[in-house]
A and B are shown apart, each in its own frame.
Chain A
Amino acid sequence: MTNTKPPIWRDYRFWQIAVQCIAVILVIAIVATLWMNLNRNLQQLGMKFGFDFLQQEASFDIGETLVNYKPTDTYILALLVGLINSLRVAIAGILLTTIVGTTAGIASLFDNWLVRNISLVYVEVFRNTPLLLQLLFWYFGVFLVFPKVENKFYVWGLIHLSQNGIELPGFTFSPEFSTLLLGLTFYTGAFIAEIVRGGIKSLPKGQWEAGLSLGLKPTLLMRLVIFPQALRVIIPPLTSQYLNLTKNSSLAIAIGYPDIYFVASTTFNQTGKAVEVMILIMLTYLTLSLIISLMMNLLNRSVQIKER
């Protein structure tokens, strides 16, 4: 037969595979080069890459810990304490900021002039100043101006406020934890307020009118008609805000709260293992972020319109 096959480089299926192979080889080559350079540079400084140091005794103390930790424990345990502290602030922060943000977002749509403008001022002030500045404000301007422990004051007889933090019956929140929690909550809450407002505003006016014409009261209208529909618009950007909050919690180091980044910094300083510690921190935050994304995607799927 004279019907010879066209040369292989004229076949688009070949290129589809070849391009992918080339990309993979390139990536491997780059990573390998970087890895070799890393090793050579470390060797020049007489350092060795490895994670053995994690088994060594940490020999530093951590101010706040939920698990039993002593300076004689290993770096792994110290990092775990930091991770738990990070999670504590991130989880509490996500819960609180959702409440604050949603409240402020809905308030911004109120007919009441005062409520609407309080929400507006809150959003603009907190959204337009740096978080680090806000944390230092909460710390030096709020929690450290509380009286000394000896003359702490009582709110409703239950909550004690002093420079040692907020004491509730049963547990105490240190000023550092409280600062970080409130700082993150109000900062992120301002963004969430805008997302909520935008989500609600995105619904056509007809939805409100339809609800009203059915005789629904405004609160019921909001709960049954408006909000469920607005959630479809709200959840994707909300996920970003949760991720931001979690990552921003690493600013804890500025105000002395021992989160994972702080513990990792001390570990890095004591062992000199910059590369290894950076890899650990990156993996930790990456894992946290992916977990949050995954959960929010599941939530997102459940609120989307179900085709029936």
Chain B
Amino acid sequence: MLKSALILASAPLFFTLAACSGESGTQLNTASAPATQVSRNIGSTVKNRGKLICGVSGELPGFSFVGTDAKYSGIDVDVCRAVTAALFDNPDAVEFRNLNTKERFTALQTGEIDLLSHNTTWTMSRETSVGLQFAPVIFYDGQAIMVSKNSGIKSLADLKNKAICTQTGTTTEQNLADQMRKRSITYKPVVFEDVNITFATYAEGRCDGVTTDRSALISRRTTLPKPEDNIILDELLSSEPLAPAVAKGDPQWNDIVKWVVYSLVKAEELGINSQNIAQLANSNDPDIKRFLGTEGNLGEGLGLTNDFAARIVKHVGNYGEVYDRNLGGKTKLNLPRGQNQLAIKGGLLYSPPFR
């Protein structure tokens, strides 16, 4: 709470103080301390620093969560690790920053983090007026509502005049208002800043329902006292394409993050995974050769080495492996791939050609 207030409060300070030196418009020098981080060459800042600073939620099993082994895991976390694998050939050269939903954009705008991988919905206004630039979608989600099984609530209409818990700083507050307005259902929103308090309040029974992205509900349900007593309504309130984001104004850094995400998808399309990548190094398939960087110089165009994609697959795996490890059947979440399947298998994931 306090931390978020600090970040919120420091934003205007930052905007006013930083870049006292930047006379030449966008060409900021990389000299003084806070100003360096808004320098429009984030890639080289990261390389000089030797590690990536990645903003994550840290509160959401399957997306980003600190496990009992004190290590971060999740699909959002693996995106950060893929980026550092591409940059440094080392997936662990990354420092994670836990951010709440409200402070995350300011942290990115002010350069406190290099990359935001925070189950963040890609929306138009976030790109046009908040100053973010999104990378490709890594998870197609939708907003849903969880209620307790014995409440008898079966649909949105049953929530008339009921209290619904949600979290501020997300698109969910607005989606809920929109959908209820469309159906002319009155309800009582109870909105919190902290995701843990949101779900604790729901667990105490103050709210009849709690709403956020469907995947997050499934994830949080596993942490409730009695998960089996809660059901998630089938009705989806919105579609939520979750994507990593970078600050606007550095096209090359945006390209790096974008093509790192595409690499994960492309690797799965090409059937390359962390197990077979060593054997495939000698493949004759020109697509695979270009992807792994044994032919052509695709990586140089990004300011990286040509084997950047091979590094990603070697250390982090392809999209399918990342998904299975964090969200798939072997995990508590047990989320079916659904829309998050490759396009060739009926899903929505697709990578432009690597050439």
Contact = CB atoms under 8 A, between A and B. Distances in A.
Contact of B15 (A42, A144, A266): A42
Contacts of A265: 8, 102, 168-169, 193
B343 interface: no
A272 B105 contact: yes
Contacts of B38: 41, 44
Nearest to A250: B5
Q: Is chain B's interface secondary structure helix, strand, loop, or mixed overall?
A: mixed
A258 interface: yes
A77 interface: no
Contacts of A63: 163, 188-191
B258 interface: no
Interface in B202-218: 204-206
A145 B105 CA distance: 36
A124 interface: no
Nearest to A47: B131
Contact of A33 (B20, B22, B25, B249): B20
Nearest to A175: B206
Interface string B234-263: 000000000000011100000000000000
Contacts, number: 147
Interface residues of A, number: 49
A34 B197 contact: no
Contact of B180 (A61, A62, A144): A61
B178 A59 contact: yes
A237 interface: no
Interface stretch (B122-130, B135-143, B275-283, B312-320): B122-130
A45 interface: yes
A38 interface: yes
Contacts of B193: 253-254, 262, 265
Interface stretch (A89-97, A187-195, A198-206, A274-282): A274-282
B284 interface: no
A144 B176 contact: no
B1 A254 contact: yes
B189 A61 contact: yes
A269 B194 contact: no
3 nearest A-B pairs in the assembled complex, by CB-CB distance = A272-B130, A45-B131, A34-B16
Interface of A: 33-35, 37-38, 40-42, 44-47, 59-63, 70-72, 132, 136, 139-140, 144-145, 148, 163-164, 175-176, 251, 253-256, 258, 262, 265-266, 268-272, 274-275, 278-279
